[in-house]
Chain A
Amino acid sequence: MAAMIELKNIIKRYYVGQPNELEVLRGMDLSVNEGEFISVVGESGSGKSTLMNIIGVLDRATEGSYFLDGIDVGAQPDKVLSGIRNQKIGFVFQTFNLIGRITARRNVELPMLYNHLPQRERSARAKELLEMVGMAERERHQPNELSGGQKQRVAIARAMANDPAIILADEPTGALDSVTGRLVMDIFHDLHRRHGKTIVLITHSQELAEETQRIITLRDGNIIAERAGGRQPGKEASA
């Protein structure tokens, strides 16, 4: 299968050239295939967030190369990166990050608006996506009228808006109780199985990581372990 994400010797340093120079990623190689569901686990400060920012093209690596769906991301100007985030990547955040004061449906429409889709198409697709995550009845609700789990489902619908190649989820269940967290995880499994999405899940829950096909463990900016997961979701981990 073709590699959807191809990281080669990625190094990320902050404060380059200054006395407090900090190397957060230390030559990382990672390849994620199309349609793969992987998880990245690690302690705080292990470089998870930085890795996610680089995979999500919110940030550029100091050294190394990154190919996303065959595109050499490092060589692209900012405007192209905006387009890549818009059409190739769907973000799901721990804190949902829905835009306040506009309805759930308008939130889902936003990425399509930035992609210049006509209103009719945006609205139809947004409805369809909200239905998929079971939020069709709440399409007119504003974020502050929704529970955490509901917000996250709207956020997932938004991430799917432009039918991206990969879904990048940063601690998507971190702010949810276990029941709604389970529900959200099931949606990810559904996106993976039924829609063939490539999913990168960043978490520090070993339990959730076990459900994914592959588990990458980071420590101090290096990948220290890589193993297969794939336990049936929802079942208790065998001790």
Chain B
Amino acid sequence: MENILQAFTSLLANKTRALLTMLGIIIGIGSVIAIFTLGDSLTGSLTSQMSSFGVNNVTISLQQTGESSLQNLRGSMLGYGGGGGIAEKDLIKESMLTELKNAFPDEIAAVALTDSVGSGKTAQGRNYANLSLTGVNPDYFLVSDPDLLYGRLIGQRDMEGLRKVAMVSDKLVKNMFGGEKPLGKQITITAGNHVDSYTIVGVYKHEASPLIPNTASDKDISTAVYIPLSTAMRVTGTTGFQSLTLMTAGGVDSVAFAETAGNYLGRFYSRNLDYRVSAFSMESMLSTMTDMLNTVSVAIAAIAAISLLVGGIGVMNIMLVSITERTREIGTRKAIGATNGQIRIQFIVESMVICLVGGLIGMMLGIALGAGGAALLGTPARPSPMMMLGTALFSMAIGVFFGYYPANKAAKLDPIEALRYE
């Protein structure tokens, strides 16, 4: 429409002023978009991260009664196995798990068990690699699906034979052997007061977790070395588990089953004063974390909205200045027959165009910032078209809201006074 053309003309006539006016809107919209883009990609990566663990996983752990729940959550999240502080008699025994499996054969697809020997290192000549030595059962690889580069996984026969075999990361291989083929090679691992040699049977691809920031250099990064659970348990002398992960079968409501399984195992601890069984599904944890992220996003967005408000007031201010400057023009327009409504629309459109252009610039800036930030965090950003449309509409709404008062003032000018204005 003619008004839009006119608005652009007057925008271009005063580029510096227009830009400064738009700055508030640009910053406001830009920060809101940046936050949402970032939040969105974080939520997205969290979801995919969690579902790589499997949303149908149920984590079962022993909680010390009265202990702060935050500590429990952290302990169970990091998957600490048996040992460490808890008495042997209190641990979840394999017999209990066998009973559980027999009670729910259709619901349970796998029971992942781990036993952490501890962090340590392996060295040969000048080469070394940091590692954490963990015993796992074959079911573990169903729950957490590592990217096997070559060789094989730890199997049932390794378990039964208490074999000294190990699955190591590609990082460790690079540090220790360079280009050489690692399969079949022996590595000597020192972990705590345990020293032993293991034969490498498999190599998996190490993937950095975005949830746990890695501060060590690439060379010093610590990766997991998996050995058979039975072998690890003999080293640590443990006979049970403080935490474990159940994978539910397809079609099973994992949120509901978490409660069922928790209650079932809870019976073994009904007379235990120190520990109780806690069970939660990844799914419910995922939604908790997503909720948390969203709350933070909304809070920051609220702060950004204040800058939008300030930006809007800036637009209103500049519109008032512009109307004073163009008093004669308004008088002329009225003399040649513009109605009050037509004058009002002209200036509202002008204010809308300022805000829309500012909003679009801010949107591009925000997406660039958000995507840049997401790239730094290693999570892909995906700005949604709905959000873009919303931004455009919202900036126009700001234009209308803050442009109405000045436009109305212009519309109500007395044409004679306006024509006489110097």
- On whether the beta carbons of B9 and A59 are closer than 8 Å, the reply is no
Task: Please measure, in the bound complex, the distance between the C-alpha atom of A162 and the C-alpha atom of B341, giving whole angstroms.
Answer: 20
| Contact residues on B (Cβ < 8 Å of other chain), bracket | 20 to 34
Closest A residue, CB atoms, query B335: A91
- On whether the beta carbons of B336 and A86 are closer than 8 Å, the reply is yes
Question: Which chain A residues in 41-68 approach chain B with CB under 8 Å?
Answer: 53, 56, 58-59
Q: A82-B339, A85-B334 are known contacts; what are 14 more A-B pairs with Cβ within 8 Å? A: A56-B335, A78-B340, A82-B340, A85-B335, A86-B336, A97-B332, A99-B333, A100-B13, A100-B329, A101-B10, A110-B333, A111-B337, A113-B2, A161-B336
- On whether the beta carbons of A102 and B9 are closer than 8 Å, the reply is yes
CB neighbours of B101 from chain A (8 A): none
- On whether the beta carbons of B338 and A114 are closer than 8 Å, the reply is yes
User: Which of A53, A86, A93, A97 has a CB less than 8 Å from the CB of B337?
Assistant: A86
Interface residue? A115 (CB, 8 A): yes
Q: From residue B147, how far is it (CB to closest CB) to chain A in Å?
A: 63
- On whether the beta carbons of B342 and A114 are closer than 8 Å, the reply is yes
With A97-B328, A113-B2 as contacts: A82 and B334 at CB distance below 8 Å:
yes
Interface residue? A153 (CB, 8 A): no
Q: From residue B322, how far is it (CB to closest CB) to chain A in Å?
A: 12
Contact with A along B312-331 (1 / 0, CB 8 A): 00000000000000001101
CB neighbours of A53 from chain B (8 A): 416
With A97-B332, A101-B10 as contacts: A114 and B339 at CB distance below 8 Å:
yes
Interface residue? A197 (CB, 8 A): no
- On whether the beta carbons of B416 and A59 are closer than 8 Å, the reply is yes
Interface residue? A79 (CB, 8 A): yes
Question: Which chain A residues in 115-161 approach chain B with CB under 8 Å?
Answer: 115, 158-159, 161
- On whether the beta carbons of A114 and B337 are closer than 8 Å, the reply is yes
Q: How many A-B residue pairs have CB under 8 A?
A: 65
Interface residue? B419 (CB, 8 A): yes
Q: From residue A158, how far is it (CB to closest CB) to chain B in Å?
A: 7
CB neighbours of B419 from chain A (8 A): 58, 93, 97
Contact with A along B1-24 (1 / 0, CB 8 A): 010001001100100000000000
Interface residue? A83 (CB, 8 A): yes
- On whether the beta carbons of A114 and B335 are closer than 8 Å, the reply is no
Interface residue? B373 (CB, 8 A): no
User: Which of B329, B333, B335, B341 has a CB less than 8 Å from the CB of A58?
Assistant: B335
- On whether the beta carbons of B13 and A114 are closer than 8 Å, the reply is no
Interface residue? B262 (CB, 8 A): no
CB neighbours of B340 from chain A (8 A): 78-79, 82
CB neighbours of A86 from chain B (8 A): 336-338
The 3 A-B residue pairs whose C-beta atoms are closest, nearest first, are: A86-B337, A97-B332, A82-B339
Task: Please measure, in the bound complex, the distance between the C-alpha atom of A93 and the C-alpha atom of B9, giving whole angstroms.
Answer: 24
- On whether the beta carbons of B336 and A110 are closer than 8 Å, the reply is yes
CB neighbours of B335 from chain A (8 A): 56, 58, 85, 91, 93, 97
CB neighbours of A114 from chain B (8 A): 333, 336-339, 342
CB neighbours of A56 from chain B (8 A): 335
- On whether the beta carbons of A101 and B13 are closer than 8 Å, the reply is yes
Q: From residue A174, how far is it (CB to closest CB) to chain B in Å?
A: 14
With A97-B328, A102-B9, A114-B342 as contacts: A58 and B416 at CB distance below 8 Å:
yes
Closest B residue, CB atoms, query A91: B335
Interface residue? B380 (CB, 8 A): no
- On whether the beta carbons of A82 and B13 are closer than 8 Å, the reply is no
Q: From residue B11, how far is it (CB to closest CB) to chain A in Å?
A: 10
Interface residue? A212 (CB, 8 A): no
CB neighbours of A173 from chain B (8 A): none
- On whether the beta carbons of B339 and A79 are closer than 8 Å, the reply is yes
CB neighbours of B328 from chain A (8 A): 97
Q: From residue B345, how far is it (CB to closest CB) to chain A in Å?
A: 11
CB neighbours of B329 from chain A (8 A): 99-100
A-B pairs with beta carbons under 8 Å apart, 29 shown: A56-B335, A58-B334, A58-B416, A78-B340, A79-B340, A82-B339, A83-B339, A85-B334, A85-B337, A86-B336, A86-B337, A86-B338, A91-B336, A93-B332, A93-B335, A93-B419, A97-B419, A98-B332, A99-B329, A99-B332, A99-B333, A101-B10, A101-B13, A111-B336, A113-B2, A114-B337, A114-B339, A115-B337, A162-B337
Interface residue? A217 (CB, 8 A): no
Interface residue? A198 (CB, 8 A): no
CB neighbours of A203 from chain B (8 A): none
CB neighbours of A113 from chain B (8 A): 2
Task: Please measure, in the bound complex, the distance between the C-alpha atom of A110 and the C-alpha atom of B6, giving whole angstroms.
Answer: 11
Question: Which chain A residues in 75-117 approach chain B with CB under 8 Å?
Answer: 78-79, 82-83, 85-87, 91, 93, 97-102, 110-111, 113-115
CB neighbours of B6 from chain A (8 A): 102
Task: Please measure, in the bound complex, the distance between the C-alpha atom of A98 and the C-alpha atom of B335, giving whole angstroms.
Answer: 12
CB neighbours of A59 from chain B (8 A): 416
Task: Please measure, in the bound complex, the distance between the C-alpha atom of A60 and the C-alpha atom of B329, giving whole angstroms.
Answer: 21
Q: From residue A185, how far is it (CB to closest CB) to chain B in Å?
A: 22
Q: From residue B41, how far is it (CB to closest CB) to chain A in Å?
A: 44
Closest A residue, CB atoms, query B336: A111
CB neighbours of A85 from chain B (8 A): 334-337
Interface residue? B415 (CB, 8 A): yes
Q: From residue A69, how far is it (CB to closest CB) to chain B in Å?
A: 15
CB neighbours of B338 from chain A (8 A): 82, 86, 114
CB neighbours of A58 from chain B (8 A): 334-335, 415-416, 419
CB neighbours of A98 from chain B (8 A): 332
With A101-B9, A113-B2 as contacts: A83 and B337 at CB distance below 8 Å:
yes
Q: From residue A223, how far is it (CB to closest CB) to chain B in Å?
A: 22
Q: From residue A111, how far is it (CB to closest CB) to chain B in Å?
A: 5
Closest A residue, CB atoms, query B338: A114
Task: Please measure, in the bound complex, the distance between the C-alpha atom of A159 and the C-alpha atom of B10, giving whole angstroms.
Answer: 24
Q: From residue A198, how far is it (CB to closest CB) to chain B in Å?
A: 18
Q: From residue A152, how far is it (CB to closest CB) to chain B in Å?
A: 14
Task: Please measure, in the bound complex, the distance between the C-alpha atom of A111 and the C-alpha atom of B341, giving whole angstroms.
Answer: 15
Question: Which chain B residues in 71-97 approach chain A with CB under 8 Å?
Answer: none
CB neighbours of B337 from chain A (8 A): 82-83, 85-87, 111, 114-115, 162
